[in-house]
């Protein structure tokens, strides 16, 4: 279970350029629940992700993972509990290392295990099995350097790597944003499968209203650093992109171009 309790995050506190990115944000995401998060530019989506991953420390409030208070834990200490997939497909893997070595590192992430342990025959079989799920043939290219892969292949690999580290919380931080629409659709389908397979608590940040509505069983709408709407599966199913636009603009936030563009791109496909 992931819990944020009265979290404030203030950047540049006490300076003229002070920004309140999160204000009194409280949120409970139950174990295994898959929630999507949407909001306009500057709503606080990245700040939520950074607060959970440990990249940013809240100014006040608590963060708990699996009942443990991790508020004061830096990101490296949370590595075994939290996996984050970034928008940049290059960010999650080492280009000079082989697919196999990248996966081995992912398996040992946050644990006291050596690379040799990670490369046992059993582990290699598990890698192959996971890669085969992608349907990209990567299971037969274990020795290839990751730098040779396309953006979509690399982001898919990053997703598999995130799963291998067996995190309690998976943060998908606009992980489709840099992919072309066709590749994004493939990685999206894969996301659904991997998240189900991993069974971990998942937050997927997106600018794409269709994706926010279609994925997961809960939708959180952020505005000005707080949750302004928390839709359960049934309400989400009954909500249209136009309804989401109304929710966001009703909160006083401008509906950013990226939200609208994402919507139109999907509609035109």
Ligand X SMILES: Nc1ncnc2c1ncn2[C@@H]1O[C@H](COP(=O)(O)OP(=O)(O)OP(=O)(O)O)[C@@H](O)[C@H]1O
Binding site for ligand X (CB under 6 A): 11-12, 19, 21, 39, 41-47
What b/e sequence results for 233-248 when a residue is b if at least 16 CB atoms lie within 10 Å of its CB, and e otherwise? Answer: eeebeebebebbbebb
Q: Are 48 and 22 in contact (CB under 8 A)?
A: yes
Strand order in the sheet with 226-232: 82-85, 169-173, 201-205, 34-39, 218-223, 226-232
Shortest approach of ligand X to residue 172 CB, angstroms? 13
Shortest approach of ligand X to residue 224 CB, angstroms? 9
Rounded CA Rg of the chain: 19
**Minimum CB distance to ligand X smaller for 51 or for 156:** 51
**Minimum CB distance to ligand X smaller for 39 or for 89:** 39
**Minimum CB distance to ligand X smaller for 44 or for 61:** 44
Dihedral of CA atoms 230, 236, 241, 244 in degrees, nearest 10, equals -20
**Minimum CB distance to ligand X smaller for 21 or for 81:** 21
Shortest approach of ligand X to residue 11 CB, angstroms? 3
Shortest approach of ligand X to residue 141 CB, angstroms? 34
């Amino acid at each position: 279970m992931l819990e944020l309790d009265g979290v404030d995050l203030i950047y540049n506190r006490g300076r003229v350029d002070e920004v309140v990115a999160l204000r009194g944000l409280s949120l409970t995401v139950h174990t295994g629940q898959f929630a999507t998060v949407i909001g306009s530019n500057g709503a606080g989506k990245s700040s939520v992700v950074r607060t959970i991953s440990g990249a940013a420390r809240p100014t006040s409030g608590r963060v708990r993972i699996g009942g443990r208070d991790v508020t004061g834990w830096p990101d490296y200490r949370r590595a075994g509990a939290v996996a984050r997939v970034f928008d940049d497909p290059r960010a999650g893997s080492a280009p000079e290392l082989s697919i196999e070595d990248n996966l081995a590192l992912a398996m040992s992430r946050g644990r006291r295990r050596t690379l040799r342990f990670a490369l046992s025959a059993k582990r290699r079989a598990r890698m192959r099995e996971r890669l085969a799920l992608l349907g990209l043939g990567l299971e037969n290219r274990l020795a290839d350097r990751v730098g040779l892969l396309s953006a979509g292949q690399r982001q898919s690999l990053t997703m598999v790597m995130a799963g291998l580290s067996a995190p309690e919380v998976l943060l998908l931080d606009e992980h489709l944003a840099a992919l072309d629409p066709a590749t994004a659709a493939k990685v999206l389908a894969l996301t659904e499968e991997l998240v189900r397979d991993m069974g971990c608590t998942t937050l997927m940040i997106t600018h794409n209203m269709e994706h926010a509505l279609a994925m997961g069983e809960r939708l959180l709408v952020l505005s000005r650093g707080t949750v302004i709407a928390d839709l359960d599966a049934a309400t989400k199913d009954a909500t249209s992109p136009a309804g989401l636009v109304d929710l966001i603009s009703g909160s006083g936030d401008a509906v950013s171009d990226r939200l609208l563009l994402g919507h139109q791109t999907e509609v035109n496909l």
